């Protein structure tokens, strides 16, 4: 029986290993983590991450061929294939602070693998890491190996949160990079055999190590770039009277461009896009390619601009002040169907509004009060981020209340900001909401999910990203 161990039971490791266990009954899969609370949660009825469909997969395999454990060393030493899926945050201090990936967790995992291994192993890089990390890891492993042979593979994960199970069941492609040697090829084939249990052969691509590593950074950079492109256009639409939905639709009909990932928004978030682009920028700079670095930096600058622009629009529309006005924030997660708030645009928008002394009442169906308070008090690394302000003072945090219902959040509010596209926000009783708000009542839709005409008929003043402006908004000061 092939044994797989995955180090890191997070958003990537957990769902990926659960699906491997489901699809490969002949393989024993252990997911290990140093965090006791995370492993306890994986072994309970309340999984540590919210992901549609995940519960069912875990329930089917847990205790049979899927195990969650904190006994990292035991499971690593027994495994034939070790996936490493630990976190690789952006460095906050020292060389490359604010841009380079922090590989501390990766390095300590690699040293541990070398330390406890008693048999040859395939070590698979699963977390996104800078190009040439595999080479560095290989050096750590071989220099500490005591004669044991390690083969390093890069197998980046392309799942998106909220659709992780679907993406894992039916991936566009699985990418496996390895050394171009007979041993490297053997390792590639061994990992390919795992995925071949359910992924069609033609979707399993094999490349050299560096192509696989760079493809992951490139894919995320291209996706983020599409959003920044459409968001840049949304500003021009508002200025000219064009409608971003019509423009996106028309542009996406070109088969060379395609219709997906062209939704204008308050900005992209998530653990990957910004981090991976910063990483790419850093790698370009280190390789003497400042023009290429500058090109990709713009994707993040436009994203910051879009969040800033949204805050300015809210404040300008409401007579240039939101001081002490209650503003309802609907949605805090970085996208729907997840409770994840890493790099969510809601953090920057809320901080911007708090900077103008607003009182916020926040509702998100999946994010806890604790998480929101932590996010709003956290200090961010300061890299050209006009919106990443200093930590909030305790009085500012008092300006924030977190409630468990959209109606409660909007009661007596002057304005509503929709920051996550949760389905339930489309079907709220907006007439009831309007009746309980201060007048004039404003809605700022950062995700283009509401029916603007219906809301205008009710009496709202409505702003939606990239849509023709209400007469009211046109009369207010220009928003840069």
Segment 241-260, which members bind ligand ADP (CB under 6 A)? Answer: none
Minimum CB distance to ligand ADP, residue 66 (Å) = 17
* Among ligand UDX, ligand ADP, none, residue 368 binds (CB under 5-8 Å by kind): none
What are the C-alpha distances in Å from 135 to residues 53, 79, 110, 152? 36, 21, 12, 8
Among 41, 55, 78, 108, binds ligand ADP (CB under 6 A): 108
User: Has 90 been labeled as part of a binding site?
Assistant: yes
Stretch that binds ligand ADP, among 82-90, 113-121, 219-227, 387-395 (CB under 6 A): 82-90
**Residues with catalytic function:** 272
How many residues of this chain interact with ligand ADP, rule: CB under 6 A?
Answer: 21
Instruction: Please report whether residue 271 would count as binding ligand ADP according to CB under 6 A.
Output: yes
User: How many angstroms separate the CA atoms of 193 and 216, rounded?
Assistant: 21
Picked from ligand UDX, ligand ADP, none, the partner binding residue 261 (CB below 5 to 8 A depending on kind) is ligand UDX
268 to 120, 221, 341, 440: CA distances (angstroms): 42, 12, 12, 30
Report in angstroms the alpha-carbon separations of 187 from 54, 111, 154, 325, 437. 29, 20, 11, 61, 62
114 binds ligand ADP (CB under 6 A): no
Q: Cβ contacts of residue 160 below 8 Å, gap of 6+?
A: 167
Residue nearest to ligand UDX (CB): 270
166 is in an annotated binding site: no
Q: Are 444 and 415 contacting, i.e. CB atoms less than 8 angstroms apart?
A: yes
Q: Does 85 bind ligand ADP (CB under 6 A)?
A: yes
Closest CA to 125 of 103, 147, 149, 146: 103
**Contacting residues toward ligand UDX, per CB under 6 A:** 157-161, 220, 223, 227, 261-263, 265, 268-270, 272-273, 334-335
The window from 4-12, 203-211, 212-220, 248-256 that contacts ligand ADP (CB under 6 A) reads 4-12
Among 2, 3, 34, 158, binds ligand ADP (CB under 6 A): 34
Residue 1 or 36 with smaller CB distance to ligand ADP: 36
- Choosing among ligand ADP, ligand UDX, none, which partner's interface includes residue 13 (Cβ < 5 to 8 Å by kind)? ligand ADP
Q: Give me the helix-helix angle, 209-240 and 244-252, nearest 10°.
A: 140
Partner from ligand UDX, ligand ADP, none contacting 38, C-beta within 5 to 8 A by type: ligand ADP
Of 236, 342, 275, 359, nearest to 89 by C-alpha is 275
Please tell me whether the peptide bond between 443 and the residue prior to it is cis, using omega within 30 degrees of 0: no
Token code pair at residue 405:
């219902």
If you ran DSSP here, which 8-state letter would residue 19 be given? H
Tokens of 146: 């005591």
Contact 11, 271 (CB under 8 A): yes
As measured in angstroms, the least distance from the Cβ of 256 to ligand UDX is 7
Q: Is 437 within 8 Å of 340 (Cβ atoms)?
A: no
Residue 228 binds to ligand ADP (criterion: CB under 6 A): no
Nearer to ligand ADP, 160 or 389 (CB): 160
Query: Of ligand ADP, ligand UDX, none, which one does residue 109 interact with (CB within 5 to 8 Å by kind)?
Result: ligand ADP
Q: Residue 2's closest CA among 83, 85, 79?
A: 79
For ligand UDX, which is the closer residue by CB, 140 or 362?
A: 362
Pick out the residues of the known binding site.
8-13, 33, 38, 86-90, 127-128, 161, 272-275, 342
């Amino acid at each position: 029986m092939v044994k797989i161990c995955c180090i890191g039971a997070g958003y990537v490791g957990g769902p990926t290993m659960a699906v491997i266990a489901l699809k490969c009954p002949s393989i024993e899969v252990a997911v290990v983590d140093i965090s006791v609370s995370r492993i306890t949660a994986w072994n309970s009825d309340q999984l540590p991450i919210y992901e549609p469909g995940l519960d069912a997969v875990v329930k089917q395999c847990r205790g049979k061929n899927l195990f969650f454990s904190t006994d990292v060393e035991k499971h690593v030493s027994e495994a034939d294939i070790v996936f490493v899926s630990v976190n690789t945050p952006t460095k906050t201090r020292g060389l490359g602070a604010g841009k380079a990936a922090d590989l501390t967790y990766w390095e300590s995992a690699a040293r541990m693998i070398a330390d406890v291994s008693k048999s040859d192993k395939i070590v698979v890089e699963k977390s996104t890491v800078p190009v040439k990390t595999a080479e560095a890891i290989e050096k750590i492993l071989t220099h500490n190996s005591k004669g044991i042979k390690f083969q390093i593979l890069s197998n980046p994960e392309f799942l998106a949160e909220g659709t992780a199970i679907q993406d894992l069941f039916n991936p566009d492609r699985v990418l496996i990079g390895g050394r171009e040697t007979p041993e490297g090829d053997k390792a590639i084939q061994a990992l390919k055999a795992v995925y071949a249990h359910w992924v069609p052969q033609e979707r399993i691509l094999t490349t050299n190590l560096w192509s696989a590593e760079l493809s992951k950074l490139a894919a995320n950079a291209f996706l983020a770039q599409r959003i920044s492109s459409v968001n840049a256009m949304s500003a021009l639409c508002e200025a000219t009277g064009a409608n971003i939905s019509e423009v996106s639709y028309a542009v996406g009909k070109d088969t060379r461009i395609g219709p997906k990932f062209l939704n204008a928004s308050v900005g992209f978030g998530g653990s990957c896009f910004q981090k991976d682009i910063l990483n790419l920028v850093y790698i370009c700079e280190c390789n003497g390619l400042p023009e290429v670095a500058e090109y990709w930096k713009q994707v993040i600058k436009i994203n910051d601009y879009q969040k800033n622009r949204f805050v300015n629009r809210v404040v300008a529309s409401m007579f240039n002040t939101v001081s002490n006005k209650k503003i309802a924030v609907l949605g805090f997660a970085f996208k729907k169907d997840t409770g994840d708030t890493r790099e969510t645009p809601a953090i920057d928008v809320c901080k911007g509004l708090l900077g103008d002394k607003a009182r916020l009442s926040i509702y998100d169906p999946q994010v806890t009060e604790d998480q929101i308070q932590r996010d709003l008090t956290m200090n961010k690394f300061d890299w050209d981020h006009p919106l990443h302000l200093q930590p909030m003072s305790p009085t500012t945090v008092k300006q924030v209340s977190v409630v468990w219902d959209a109606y409660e959040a909007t009661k007596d509010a002057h304005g509503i900001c929709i920051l996550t596209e949760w389905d339930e926000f489309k079907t709220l009783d907006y007439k009831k909401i309007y009746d309980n708000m201060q007048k004039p009542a404003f809605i700022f839709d950062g995700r283009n999910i509401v029916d603007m005409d219906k809301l205008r008929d009710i009496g709202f003043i409505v702003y939606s990203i990239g849509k023709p402006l209400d007469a009211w908004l046109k009369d207010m000061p220009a928003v840069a």
